[in-house]
Chain A
Amino acid sequence: MSALARLRETLVAVATTVFATTAFAQSDALVTTDWLEKNLDNPKVRIVEVSVEPGLFERGHIPGAQNIVWHTDLVDTVERDIAKPEKFQALARKLGVDKDVTVVLYGDSNNWFAAWGAWVFDIYGLRDNVKLLDGGRKKWELEKRPVSTSPIAPKASAFTVAEPNRKLRARLLDVVSVVEKKTDARILDIRSPDEFSGKIIAPAGFQELALRAGHIPGSVNVPWARAVNQADGTLKSPQELKKLYAEVGIDGSKPVITTCRIGERSSHTWFILSRVLGYQVANYDGSWTEYGNVVGLPINNPAGTVWGGK
């Protein structure tokens, strides 16, 4: 190898390190589309799409991105549970994800399922290096940035899964304990006002239902999409977000539990409260389809919908 080539290699290595440091310098929970486009070739960045619509990723994604299929990759397909540790570890290794790389998650529907992905990543020990692309697919497309259909084959990582972090996930007993005032926490329900009040059990067309309508006693309601700027899918500013949730008494002074119908939309609000505002938050993925189906639990039903025949 000539001295010149060696010099060039050293320079590249230095540049890469600098770039990688910049990747980490972004300590926020979000990255901008601008930042991401500048870091598309950064070897210390892994881009992962988590979208709801099948086939969307394959027909055009952010160049260099890999795909997670939320229907199967991040859940256990037999039990109602998130992916078991071994399954998650295998997925993370395949994606080349580890603690020393910046992982940027993004997706359709205002990053709804990308946020759910971030919650599962966090549970298994990948937190500060996992970020959401602010605005997700929507903003990337609106800004006419390039998309690609070429697959990439990343080098697998040697990631070792951590013990599941129980603090991030509320279970039924945690919620019941709050309802019975044995634990001091606030429950934030992010479903639509009509679901919250009990006028309807679920939005039209959804299969997963509960046998009763209403909400968990003591919970407050902020529909999840209110945190998003509808024009480009970005999150509102931290000040606006703080104000939005403070209005219903959620200000970070007490631990929070987020909940919805099946626990997926609520992970979007979990991300905002936990990662953007830094509150202590657990997501209750059992949500209304668990709570509203359990025998003998108290329910608040302001709409007065009563179960029975005609």
Chain B
Amino acid sequence: MSISDDTGALDYHRAREAAAASASSDAGAASSPLPLLRIVLAVAVALGLAAAIHLVGVQGGPATQLQLSLILGAAFGCVLQRSRFCFFCIWRDWLDRRDPRGLLGILTALAVGIAGYTLVFGAWLPDPSGTRLPPTAHIGPVSVALVLAGLAFGAGMAISGSCISAHLYRLGEGSSTSPFALIGAVGGFILGFLSWNDLYLSTIAGSPVLWLPRQLGYGGSLLASLAILAGLAWLLLRTGRMPPASPAVTQDPFVDVFIRRWPAWIGGLFVGLIGVAAYLRLSPLGVTAEIGSRSRQLAVGLDWLPLRLEGLDSFRGCATVIRDALLTPNGLFIAGIVTAAFAAALGAGEFKPKRPTGGQVLRGLTGGVLLGWGTVIGLGCTVGTLLSGISAGAVSGWVFAAALLAGTTVTLRLGRRLGWLA
């Protein structure tokens, strides 16, 4: 049973149906041995990851920070892969079939994130009414450029079949598109840096950094955000069409955890918790700082960038400051995502590498460029700006989310009409 597909834009409904249809065989799998090689490989990768975590803890510079980054990255990658937490696939399920389950998973992640962040904020900045923002939280400027960034990022999702975090876990599933999308993203990052100064001077510099708790207080902000999420959930349940009831659990926890897909809301729950844990101990969740920083290093090395990127490094969000270190927290976080997703995919039989087609290469590269550009201008992606931003009570997170959905929807419809996108 394969749950990955070639384009990376997977049909969730079909996958669920396939999972349901094979439930009996999965249940039977409890008695019949699973493919041994697959299990051995998955365990070997997991053990390798554990060894890496140990080694980083022993030798790394700021050891606890690096080690915890790798641990949380691994947890995040595992959760993304097991629950198929792909923003684009989830949105497509809704557009095509009015299947609300994936979106309910995202709402769950946001609700957990908002509640958890509020808990942390209360300790770190007891009074939100002053001029200060809670340290390091991703609260960005709300500008026209942010809307453009969201639209571009959404278009990039539709074309390449995923957002950046999903491309990372797909890399672990052997996707043929994701490597090209990530290469394209490097180009997009560099284009983003090149257009930054103009956009900064024309719109970003003068735009407000809006933080809901400043106006509403922590209680008010929490209630308002949860009310919006509840309203959206109600709308989804009212207008959505739940697919036929999926079969009951298989009675075999091993199969439920390692073979079958996790329900989206469980994925959302874990994503929210990992986000809060990362904010509490390290920095807000984000998957683009390392890629952005390395792209910037490359472009600076090639003498492509202006001498100064005005104000870029003074904003909250996925920072792209060039670092000298070989191992960085975000670099290890990314490595953790990909490796753990690889182990999880191996175990579930979802690691299916294929030779990429020309169309996949083209869609990956073009979509990737848009993803990269949107990330630089939006100061983060679906994880860094949308999830970590909305969790932090940042208006920028909500604006980016709305623009991104619009961009995806329009691009997907247009692409389908022209016969370019599936």
Q: Is the CB of B124 within 8 A of A58?
A: yes
- Report B-chain residues with C-beta under 8 Å of the C-beta of A54: 135-136
Q: Is the CB of A69 within 8 A of B132?
A: yes
State in angstroms the CA–CA spacing of A69 and B135 once bound together.
10
User: Is residue A249 contacting chain B, with contact meaning CB distance below 8 A?
Assistant: no
Q: Is the CB of A151 within 8 A of B136?
A: no
Q: Is the CB of B126 within 8 A of A151?
A: yes
- CB under 8 Å from chain A, chain B span 133-163: 134-136
User: Is residue B245 contacting chain A, with contact meaning CB distance below 8 A?
Assistant: no
- Report B-chain residues with C-beta under 8 Å of the C-beta of A55: 135-136, 283
Say yes or no: A150-B135 contact (C-beta < 8 A), given A55-B283, A59-B281: no
- Report A-chain residues with C-beta under 8 Å of the C-beta of B135: 54-55, 57-58
State in angstroms the CA–CA spacing of A298 and B135 once bound together.
43
**Chain A residue with minimal CB distance to B123?**
A151
- Report A-chain residues with C-beta under 8 Å of the C-beta of B124: 58, 149, 151
- CB under 8 Å from chain B, chain A span 46-82: 54-55, 57-59, 69, 72
A-contact 0/1 string along B11-23, CB 8 Å cutoff = 0000000000000
The one of B123, B132, B136 in contact with A150, judged by C-beta atoms closer than 8 angstroms, is: B123
Q: For B131, B135, B282, which residue has the most chain A Cβ atoms within 10 angstroms? A: B135
State in angstroms the CA–CA spacing of A31 and B282 once bound together.
30
Q: For A54, A58, A69, A150, which residue has the most chain B Cβ atoms within 10 angstroms? A: A58
- Report B-chain residues with C-beta under 8 Å of the C-beta of A153: 126
User: Is residue B237 contacting chain A, with contact meaning CB distance below 8 A?
Assistant: no
State in angstroms the CA–CA spacing of A72 and B131 once bound together.
10
Size of the A side of the interface (Cβ < 8 Å), in residues, is 11
- Report A-chain residues with C-beta under 8 Å of the C-beta of B132: 69, 72
User: Is residue B45 contacting chain A, with contact meaning CB distance below 8 A?
Assistant: no
- CB under 8 Å from chain B, chain A span 27-61: 54-55, 57-59
Q: Indicate the size class of the contact surface on chain B.
A: 10 to 19
- CB under 8 Å from chain A, chain B span 277-299: 280-283
B-contact 0/1 string along A142-162, CB 8 Å cutoff = 000000011101000000000
Q: Is the CB of A149 within 8 A of B123?
A: yes
**Chain B residue with minimal CB distance to A54?**
B135
Q: What is the CB-to-nearest-CB distance from B222 to chain A, in angstroms, rounded to a whole number?
A: 18
State in angstroms the CA–CA spacing of A205 and B95 once bound together.
47
Q: For A54, A59, A150, A153, which residue has the most chain B Cβ atoms within 10 angstroms? A: A59
Q: For B134, B136, B281, which residue has the most chain A Cβ atoms within 10 angstroms? A: B136
- Report A-chain residues with C-beta under 8 Å of the C-beta of B281: 59
- Report B-chain residues with C-beta under 8 Å of the C-beta of A149: 123-124
Q: What is the CB-to-nearest-CB distance from B399 to chain A, in angstroms, rounded to a whole number?
A: 24
State in angstroms the CA–CA spacing of A140 and B124 once bound together.
21
Q: What is the CB-to-nearest-CB distance from A144 to chain B, in angstroms, rounded to a whole number?
A: 12
- Report B-chain residues with C-beta under 8 Å of the C-beta of A72: 131-132
Q: What is the CB-to-nearest-CB distance from B69 to chain A, in angstroms, rounded to a whole number?
A: 13
- Report A-chain residues with C-beta under 8 Å of the C-beta of B136: 54-55
- Report B-chain residues with C-beta under 8 Å of the C-beta of A57: 135
Q: What is the CB-to-nearest-CB distance from A113 to chain B, in angstroms, rounded to a whole number?
A: 15
State in angstroms the CA–CA spacing of A208 and B396 once bound together.
30
Q: Is the CB of B123 within 8 A of A59?
A: no
Q: What is the CB-to-nearest-CB distance from B139 to chain A, in angstroms, rounded to a whole number?
A: 13
- CB under 8 Å from chain B, chain A span 222-255: none
- CB under 8 Å from chain B, chain A span 64-120: 69, 72
Q: What is the CB-to-nearest-CB distance from B329 to chain A, in angstroms, rounded to a whole number?
A: 12
State in angstroms the CA–CA spacing of A55 and B281 once bound together.
10
Say yes or no: A59-B280 contact (C-beta < 8 A), given A54-B136, A69-B132, A72-B132: yes
**Chain B residue with minimal CB distance to A56?**
B135
Q: For A55, A69, A72, which residue has the most chain B Cβ atoms within 10 angstroms? A: A55
State in angstroms the CA–CA spacing of A153 and B281 once bound together.
22
- CB under 8 Å from chain A, chain B span 98-125: 123-124
- CB under 8 Å from chain B, chain A span 202-226: none
State in angstroms the CA–CA spacing of A150 and B123 once bound together.
6
Q: What is the CB-to-nearest-CB distance from A252 to chain B, in angstroms, rounded to a whole number?
A: 39
State in angstroms the CA–CA spacing of A149 and B136 once bound together.
16
- Report A-chain residues with C-beta under 8 Å of the C-beta of B282: 59
**Chain A residue with minimal CB distance to B322?**
A205
Q: What is the CB-to-nearest-CB distance from B388 to chain A, in angstroms, rounded to a whole number?
A: 14
Q: What is the CB-to-nearest-CB distance from A83 to chain B, in angstroms, rounded to a whole number?
A: 14
State in angstroms the CA–CA spacing of A59 and B135 once bound together.
10
- Report A-chain residues with C-beta under 8 Å of the C-beta of B131: 72
State in angstroms the CA–CA spacing of A153 and B124 once bound together.
12
Q: What is the CB-to-nearest-CB distance from B242 to chain A, in angstroms, rounded to a whole number?
A: 42
- Report B-chain residues with C-beta under 8 Å of the C-beta of A151: 123-124, 126
State in angstroms the CA–CA spacing of A153 and B135 once bound together.
19
Q: What is the CB-to-nearest-CB distance from B65 to chain A, in angstroms, rounded to a whole number?
A: 10
State in angstroms the CA–CA spacing of A54 and B282 once bound together.
11
**Chain A residue with minimal CB distance to B135?**
A55
Q: What is the CB-to-nearest-CB distance from B286 to chain A, in angstroms, rounded to a whole number?
A: 14
Q: What is the CB-to-nearest-CB distance from A21 to chain B, in angstroms, rounded to a whole number?
A: 33
State in angstroms the CA–CA spacing of A151 and B134 once bound together.
14
Q: What is the CB-to-nearest-CB distance from B41 to chain A, in angstroms, rounded to a whole number?
A: 37
State in angstroms the CA–CA spacing of A55 and B136 once bound together.
6
- CB under 8 Å from chain A, chain B span 57-108: none
Q: What is the CB-to-nearest-CB distance from B307 to chain A, in angstroms, rounded to a whole number?
A: 11
Q: What is the CB-to-nearest-CB distance from A295 to chain B, in angstroms, rounded to a whole number?
A: 24
State in angstroms the CA–CA spacing of A307 and B347 once bound together.
65
- Add 5 more A-B contacts to A54-B136, A58-B123 (CB < 8 A): A58-B134, A58-B135, A59-B281, A72-B131, A151-B124
Contacts from B to A (Cβ < 8 Å):
123-124, 126, 131-132, 134-136, 280-283
Can you list 23 A-B contacts with CB-CB less than 8 angstroms, sorted by A residue number?
A54-B135, A54-B136, A55-B135, A55-B136, A55-B283, A57-B135, A58-B123, A58-B124, A58-B134, A58-B135, A59-B280, A59-B281, A59-B282, A69-B132, A72-B131, A72-B132, A149-B123, A149-B124, A150-B123, A151-B123, A151-B124, A151-B126, A153-B126
- State the 8 A-B residue pairs at the shortest beta-carbon distance, nearest first: A55-B135, A58-B124, A55-B136, A54-B135, A58-B135, A151-B123, A151-B126, A54-B136
